[in-house]
Structure 1
């Protein structure tokens, strides 16, 4: 039986817990995992490090790289979990063009909680000063995206509850194979 590769894009503003949730989902499901930050060109990282918000022109090539990676994984029969801010619907539309089923897991929460989390993390190039621009850019999941299986989850929930909710919504057992001979 052949399964269609599924891509879970764990999305939200910086500090929402994307890396934590994506890593836990990857472990639970046994799916490949990638951080969208790894796809950024140096010029984007330099801008963000300096506290300069990215513009759409900075994001399109980055998003295309991510979409290409998902398509390559799908061609190999591999389902994935990926962190990506995916703040605008147009960004999500581009990512949805990858081969396989693409679902968005929006980690949503209040600015105060996210700001607290950002203040406490170390070694990340995204400074807390960029949070207001990310919140202003964020376009919530549409009714159509939610109807297609994407989820909006509150970051105030413990990570294990968020992961359990995603796995339950997927209807797949942990460590489910993406393809079978």
Structure 2
């Protein structure tokens, strides 16, 4: 099971967090600070797996971001590396060469993609096409809602004149 997902920049800034196990806000802050220090200070030639507090942390660096997932000791690290790569491929396909700024300004879409990919800390959908179709449907719903909200606000504005 995946306990949490962290995206951390090379400067140590958190870009995305998703918690699948219960942690208090104080514990979350401590985890982020501790893991950020451990992962950012590791050399590029070292293994992408870290033993931490009885768990394993699997991470992979893509451009300026570290994608980290915390798993149980008996889970398969290589499978989690594939899940990370799968997530990055979907982000790359959606944003067209994803970068850190895409995740900063469209964090809600990154969360939605992650939610389509993982459910309760387990892989939910392995098909990139299915995830892309679901995301496109969600974008369509958002656009429809924006158009309806705009037309309603126009009606209200005209009625109040």
- Band the TM-score falls in, shorter-chain normalisation: 0.3 to 0.5
Q: Which has the higher contact order (CA 8 A, sep 6+)?
A: 1
TM-score w.r.t. the length of structure 1 is 0.34
Higher strand share: 2
Q: Which has the larger radius of gyration?
A: 2
